[in-house]
Amino acid sequence: MTHRDADDFYLTAVDREEERDENLLTASRMFAALSRSAHGVQAITEAVTEVFPWVRHLSQAERLDFAAELTGALSDAAELGIDVTAREVVAGWRATARIKADNDLYAQALAPTQGDFGPVEAIA
Protein backbone atom coordinates (compact mmCIF):
# COMPACT_ATOMS: atom_id res chain seq x y z
CA MET A 1 0.00 0.00 0.00
CA THR A 2 1.31 3.49 -0.80
CA HIS A 3 1.25 6.29 1.75
CA ARG A 4 1.58 9.95 0.95
CA ASP A 5 3.71 10.84 3.99
CA ALA A 6 5.27 7.51 4.98
CA ASP A 7 7.05 4.49 3.61
CA ASP A 8 5.05 2.04 1.52
CA PHE A 9 4.07 -1.17 3.29
CA TYR A 10 2.65 -4.55 2.44
CA LEU A 11 0.64 -7.18 4.25
CA THR A 12 1.82 -10.75 4.47
CA ALA A 13 0.89 -13.86 6.39
CA VAL A 14 2.83 -14.48 9.61
CA ASP A 15 3.87 -17.98 8.55
CA ARG A 16 5.33 -16.62 5.33
CA GLU A 17 7.38 -14.03 7.23
CA GLU A 18 8.56 -16.70 9.66
CA GLU A 19 9.67 -18.87 6.73
CA ARG A 20 11.66 -15.96 5.28
CA ASP A 21 13.29 -15.35 8.66
CA GLU A 22 14.15 -19.05 8.99
CA ASN A 23 15.63 -19.12 5.49
CA LEU A 24 17.77 -16.06 6.23
CA LEU A 25 18.93 -17.65 9.47
CA THR A 26 19.87 -20.88 7.71
CA ALA A 27 21.74 -19.06 4.92
CA SER A 28 23.53 -16.87 7.45
CA ARG A 29 24.63 -19.88 9.49
CA MET A 30 25.87 -21.60 6.32
CA PHE A 31 28.06 -18.57 5.50
CA ALA A 32 29.32 -18.43 9.08
CA ALA A 33 30.23 -22.13 8.96
CA LEU A 34 32.02 -21.66 5.64
CA SER A 35 33.97 -18.71 7.02
CA ARG A 36 35.62 -20.98 9.60
CA SER A 37 37.74 -22.82 7.02
CA ALA A 38 40.29 -21.62 4.48
CA HIS A 39 38.39 -23.23 1.60
CA GLY A 40 35.14 -21.69 2.80
CA VAL A 41 36.69 -18.22 3.05
CA GLN A 42 37.97 -18.63 -0.50
CA ALA A 43 34.51 -19.71 -1.70
CA ILE A 44 32.80 -16.78 0.02
CA THR A 45 35.35 -14.32 -1.39
CA GLU A 46 34.81 -15.72 -4.89
CA ALA A 47 31.04 -15.42 -4.42
CA VAL A 48 31.41 -11.80 -3.28
CA THR A 49 33.42 -11.11 -6.44
CA GLU A 50 30.66 -12.62 -8.55
CA VAL A 51 27.79 -10.88 -6.76
CA PHE A 52 29.51 -7.48 -6.47
CA PRO A 53 31.64 -6.98 -9.62
CA TRP A 54 32.98 -3.65 -8.34
CA VAL A 55 35.15 -5.50 -5.78
CA ARG A 56 37.71 -5.92 -8.57
CA HIS A 57 38.90 -2.43 -7.51
CA LEU A 58 39.68 -3.71 -4.01
CA SER A 59 42.83 -5.52 -3.00
CA GLN A 60 42.67 -9.20 -2.11
CA ALA A 61 42.96 -8.32 1.59
CA GLU A 62 40.09 -5.82 1.24
CA ARG A 63 37.94 -8.43 -0.49
CA LEU A 64 38.54 -10.78 2.41
CA ASP A 65 37.64 -8.02 4.88
CA PHE A 66 34.47 -7.18 2.91
CA ALA A 67 33.43 -10.84 2.81
CA ALA A 68 34.01 -11.19 6.57
CA GLU A 69 32.12 -7.98 7.39
CA LEU A 70 29.23 -8.94 5.13
CA THR A 71 29.03 -12.42 6.68
CA GLY A 72 28.89 -10.83 10.13
CA ALA A 73 26.25 -8.31 9.06
CA LEU A 74 24.09 -11.05 7.57
CA SER A 75 24.42 -12.97 10.83
CA ASP A 76 23.29 -9.87 12.73
CA ALA A 77 20.31 -9.54 10.41
CA ALA A 78 19.33 -13.17 10.89
CA GLU A 79 20.12 -13.60 14.57
CA LEU A 80 19.35 -10.12 15.94
CA GLY A 81 16.97 -8.58 13.42
CA ILE A 82 19.42 -5.78 12.59
CA ASP A 83 18.71 -5.42 8.89
CA VAL A 84 20.42 -2.10 8.12
CA THR A 85 23.97 -3.26 8.87
CA ALA A 86 24.38 -5.40 5.75
CA ARG A 87 23.26 -2.50 3.56
CA GLU A 88 25.75 -0.21 5.33
CA VAL A 89 28.59 -2.70 4.85
CA VAL A 90 27.87 -2.95 1.12
CA ALA A 91 27.53 0.83 0.75
CA GLY A 92 30.79 1.49 2.59
CA TRP A 93 32.82 -0.98 0.58
CA ARG A 94 31.18 0.19 -2.68
CA ALA A 95 32.27 3.76 -1.83
CA THR A 96 35.82 2.53 -1.22
CA ALA A 97 35.82 0.72 -4.57
CA ARG A 98 34.43 3.82 -6.29
CA ILE A 99 37.31 5.96 -4.99
CA LYS A 100 39.91 3.33 -5.84
CA ALA A 101 38.48 2.98 -9.36
CA ASP A 102 39.19 6.66 -10.08
CA ASN A 103 42.96 7.20 -10.08
CA ASP A 104 42.63 10.94 -9.41
CA LEU A 105 40.25 10.49 -6.47
CA TYR A 106 42.40 7.72 -5.07
CA ALA A 107 45.54 9.86 -5.28
CA GLN A 108 43.65 12.65 -3.49
CA ALA A 109 42.50 10.24 -0.79
CA LEU A 110 46.09 9.11 -0.21
CA ALA A 111 47.56 12.64 -0.13
CA PRO A 112 48.50 13.99 3.29
CA THR A 113 46.29 16.71 4.72
CA GLN A 114 46.91 19.54 7.12
CA GLY A 115 44.77 21.73 9.28
CA ASP A 116 41.16 21.75 10.29
CA PHE A 117 38.60 21.51 7.52
CA GLY A 118 35.87 22.93 9.73
CA PRO A 119 32.60 21.49 10.96
CA VAL A 120 30.90 18.66 9.11
CA GLU A 121 27.16 18.77 8.60
CA ALA A 122 25.22 15.54 8.80
CA ILE A 123 23.11 14.95 5.73
CA ALA A 124 19.79 13.30 6.44
Cβ atoms within 10 Å of 100's Cβ, excluding its own: 17
Helix H or strand E encompassing 42: helix 38-51
pLDDT tens digits, one per residue of 50-97: 999 999 999 999 999 999 999 999 999 888 888 889 999 999 999 999
Does pTM top 0.85 for this prediction?
A: no
Task: Look at residues 30, 31, 8, 28 and name the one whose alpha carbon lies nearest to residue 20.
Answer: 28
CA angle 30, 77, 7 (to 5 degrees): 140
